[in-house]
Amino acid sequence: MFKEEDQIYEGKAKKVYKTENENEVIIFYKDDATAFNNIKKGSIQNKGILNSKITTIIFNLLKENGIETHFIKTIDERSQLCKKVTIIPLEVIVRNTLAGSTAKLLGIEEGLVLDTPIFEISYKKDELKDPLINDYHAISLKIATREELDNIYAQTKKINEVLKKFFDKANIDLIDFKIEFGKDSNGKIILADEISPDCARLWDKDTKKKLDKDRFRRDLGEIEDAYIEVLSRIEKL
């Protein structure tokens, strides 16, 4: 279906291929895993398959809830046909419970449940380790306009509400997650990239067991099993 010479981009976890349609691409999910900005490298068996399946379930759920995404259809277990977008170089992070970098930054123990979620943006620049910025940086540096940020935050709020409820039904707490947006051929801002245990913290509600990439980052073992657990719980919903 797609050839190596058609590859237009290779990221840390995915490859992108062009298609005969200039407005569509094929996204291939790899098993490669990186953490701490490429300092830790490895591979999680079948991660590409699991993340492609998890993202597909979530993007279909979001579509049913009126959120447009780049996802068009599944091609095979590791590949998806998606709308071609120009990625806005922002990582949009939502925190429902304090964990990870912000817990560390503020010297607060992981696990503080937030009544009001924290929205953060960071500038997608690997060599600078994706620095945390605010709206003023984004606007002044022309990364996004005020209107575009408002649009992104409104979509992000809705995505968080839908996903929190969804994972709750799977007995999983959605601790935090990172999403990316892109502009389609009409300039419309839509959700792109993926939503999977690679970019979300997911804790079992009862045991607080981590079912996400922190198992790789923190050498907790049973990484593939955790991703399988997430998929099997949400597949049943």
Q: Yes or no: say if 16 and 9 are a contact pair by the CB < 8 Å rule.
A: yes
Least Cβ distance, residue 31 to ligand C5P (angstroms): 17
Q: Yes or no: say if 88 and 183 are a contact pair by the CB < 8 Å rule.
A: yes
Query: Binding residues for ligand C5P, per CB under 6 A?
Result: 91, 93, 100-102, 130, 176-178, 199-201, 213
CA–CA separation, 166 and 164 (whole Å): 5
Put the strands of the sheet holding 71-76 in their side by side order: 7-10, 14-18, 24-29, 79-83, 71-76
Task: Identify which of residues 81 and 163 has a Cβ nearer to ligand C5P in the complex.
Answer: 163
Q: In sequence order, what are the residues at sequence separation of 6 or more whose Cβ sits closer than 8 angstroms to the Cβ of residue 103? A: 109, 110, 112
Least Cβ distance, residue 37 to ligand C5P (angstroms): 7
Of the candidates 39, 94, 11, 50, the one whose C-alpha atom is nearest the C-alpha of residue 217 is 39
Which residue in the shown chain puts its C-beta closest to ligand C5P?
100
Least Cβ distance, residue 115 to ligand C5P (angstroms): 19
Least Cβ distance, residue 48 to ligand C5P (angstroms): 16
Least Cβ distance, residue 79 to ligand C5P (angstroms): 21
Q: Which two tokens stand for residue 182?
A: 């892109």
Task: Identify which of residues 81 and 138 has a Cβ nearer to ligand C5P in the complex.
Answer: 138
Task: Identify which of residues 126 and 147 has a Cβ nearer to ligand C5P in the complex.
Answer: 126
Task: Identify which of residues 28 and 203 has a Cβ nearer to ligand C5P in the complex.
Answer: 203
3-state class (DSSP) for residue 73: strand
Least Cβ distance, residue 47 to ligand C5P (angstroms): 13
Of the candidates 9, 39, 41, the one whose C-alpha atom is nearest the C-alpha of residue 25 is 9
Task: Identify which of residues 26 and 199 has a Cβ nearer to ligand C5P in the complex.
Answer: 199
Task: Identify which of residues 81 and 174 has a Cβ nearer to ligand C5P in the complex.
Answer: 174
